[in-house]
A and B are shown apart, each in its own frame.
Chain A
């Protein structure tokens, strides 16, 4: 099996009185595509910068290939970074930018020329060597930045939101290309994003970070289908999350009571006991409804409205306690007219019972998503 190429052991980071990274234990495996995913300000960049050497951990150990690197300067570490806004040298042309790392290492001239040409071909910038940086488009700059880092054959490539400044279409295309490059070269990628879709499509594993704590680290399917915390359930995909108390636990599932009524769910967490304060999360597409009460469920609501969004119909239900509950269907015929009273239920496997680990405001991810879209528009306009 693969061995860890980067290990972070009990790493803590404080900025003044701001505790930014809290007891981080992370093993990054050789050759994997690991994504650090989390909302703005959760500590993704800080984590990357500690690996690359631009920030020192307040305490803890960071190992690259088993060797402790905390005392090493950035230029002594065998990792390379693709910076958020490319950080290409504007005083050099494309060739010189890509060749920079090799020139530093005093690689012979003809070998440099050969390797740069090969690398430019690999990122589909054949013949762009003589171009000045300010004559390149956003997507092209991105490729130069990737080529400049990859040509050094780093053990680990760190990418800090490398596609954040590109428009949606280019972004999708670059996602595929990056994945292709990573497979082809077999280099370990540590990728930072706050775009969950990007994380789900590209990664071998995802580490979901919540205010400096890695809430869950697992393969995308597991993250999506088996969120470990309320935060992960709310951050990855859409979820309806209700505060609840465990009423009972048996072979058929966990019975919980919420302010709006009772429900049934399951949990991967065996430590959950009757009386625990929990959350129950269910995805809009997994939520079923009927005119009658279903056994084990007593959540009742009034249909508020539905909206048609492309291939999807979204229905909003107001529960007894005033909470809004989302339901998604592919077919409008499956929906119920506004004003009607319905009972909600789901297959018990679809209801995830999660221990309330920390006081996390699950609504906050929506604000952040809103901010994202604005950002994208801004960047698109710029490009």
Chain B
């Protein structure tokens, strides 16, 4: 090996380099490939197979092929849960975008120092345990909670408001949890926008409103699409907020799936639900790609 190194043959050296590069790429990509086969592809296949099996007594999976699970999903009760979680996910997404976009735009205009401070504040829900945060909402929204106490003290209301265990509390909780996922992609696309384009629009006589709708919005749309995906998708499957702030009245698909695997012990049905959710998500990602989104923006 060493002898070969000494020979100054350019061609041999180049061959060695590609061999080296290939080795490097195997070393680099190999573990990831193995990891994704083991922990992503294999489980998905197991789940897919399981979704076509039947449930035996005591929650045992019986290997008898059936379409029963998929038929069940479209029965009214379960379908209602799906509808409900889509509605909650929809409103959460709409609200995070409407609140997040101006927030991102303001942050993009700040000096680097200030904007990074806001970035850290924004990231808090990503770092702190979701459980702790959601529980603090319970304290806040309780009948005798902080918010009700304050509102009654200043005389804005006479009776405590029902803020917990309804759509309101669920949406606020979701909003808080998903705001960073919404703001970050929008921030990055607004920041990338060349300020000269905004100036060019104004230079040509367009006021701020027109400039926003004709130039800024279309050019930052990929960031908005990414924000929609990053909020909507995890929101459908996120069960912690609905569990604690929804009081069991509001269920997300995530809750439903979670129950099939725990309380109801109907694994094949849970698997079928998970498959449907996965297909919906893939469909959305596919649409995102179709409208010209960049998958890298999704992180």
Contact = CB atoms under 8 A, between A and B. Distances in A.
Contacts of A148: 204
A295 interface: no
A89 B206 contact: no
B204 A100 contact: yes
Contacts of A152: 204-205
B205 A101 contact: yes
Contact of B197 (A81, A84, A89, A104): A89
23 contacts: A54-B199, A54-B202, A73-B202, A73-B207, A74-B199, A75-B206, A75-B207, A81-B203, A83-B200, A84-B196, A85-B196, A89-B197, A89-B201, A89-B214, A90-B219, A91-B218, A100-B201, A100-B206, A100-B214, A104-B206, A149-B203, A149-B204, A152-B204
B81 interface: no
Given A75-B205, A87-B194, A91-B218, A104 B199 contact: no
B215 A89 contact: yes
A135 to B, nearest CB: 16
B203 to A, nearest CB: 5
A64 to B, nearest CB: 14
A73 B203 CA distance: 9
A54, A84, A104, A152, most chain B CB atoms within 10 A? A104
A75 B210 CA distance: 11
A17 interface: no
Interface residues of A, number: 22
Contacts of A80: 203-204
Contacts of B199: 54, 74, 81, 83, 87
A169 to B, nearest CB: 26
B144 to A, nearest CB: 52
A105 interface: yes
Interface string B203-229: 111110010001100110000000000
A149 B200 CA distance: 9
Contacts of A73: 202, 207
Contacts of A87: 194, 196-197, 199-200
Interface string A186-201: 0000000000000000
Contacts of B219: 89-91
Interface string A68-107: 0000011100001101110111110000000011001100
Contacts of B214: 89, 100
Interface of B: 194, 196-197, 199-207, 210, 214-215, 218-219
Residue of A73, A75, A85, A90 ringed by the most chain B CB atoms within 10 A: A75
A35 B97 CA distance: 47
Max count, chain A CB within 10 A of own CB: residue among B199, B205, B210, B218 = B205
Nearest to B204: A101
B254 to A, nearest CB: 37
Interface of A: 52, 54, 73-75, 80-81, 83-85, 87-91, 100-101, 104-105, 148-149, 152
Nearest to B198: A87
A100 B205 CA distance: 9
Contacts of A75: 202-207
Nearest to B194: A87
Contacts of B201: 89, 100
A101 B219 CA distance: 18
B205 A105 contact: yes
Nearest to A49: B199
B191 to A, nearest CB: 16
Contacts of A83: 196, 199-200
A89 B218 CA distance: 10
A100 B207 CA distance: 12
Nearest to A158: B203
A48 B202 CA distance: 15
A91 B204 CA distance: 16
B227 to A, nearest CB: 19
Q: Which 4 A-B pairs have the closest CB atoms?
A: A87-B196, A101-B204, A87-B200, A91-B218
A52 to B, nearest CB: 6
Given A73-B202, A75-B202, A100-B204, 16 more contacts: A75-B204, A75-B206, A80-B204, A83-B196, A85-B196, A87-B196, A87-B197, A88-B200, A89-B200, A89-B201, A89-B214, A100-B206, A104-B204, A104-B206, A105-B205, A149-B203
Contacts of B218: 91
Given A87-B194, A90-B219, A105-B205, A81 B200 contact: yes
Nearest to A88: B200
B162 to A, nearest CB: 46
A66 B198 CA distance: 28
B203 A74 contact: yes
A84 B200 CA distance: 11
Nearest to A81: B203
Contacts of B210: 104
A146 B203 CA distance: 13
- Which of A54, A74, A84 lies at the interface centre, i.e. has the most chain B CB atoms within 10 A of its CB? A74
A104 B205 contact: yes
A91 B206 CA distance: 16
A87 to B, nearest CB: 4
A84 B197 CA distance: 11
A321 to B, nearest CB: 49
B204 to A, nearest CB: 4
A88 to B, nearest CB: 8
A88 B194 CA distance: 10
A81 B198 CA distance: 13
Contacts of A88: 200
Contacts of B203: 52, 74-75, 80-81, 149
A152 B205 CA distance: 9
A293 B62 CA distance: 115
A157 to B, nearest CB: 11
A89 B194 CA distance: 10
Nearest to A96: B214
A215 to B, nearest CB: 29
A228 to B, nearest CB: 33
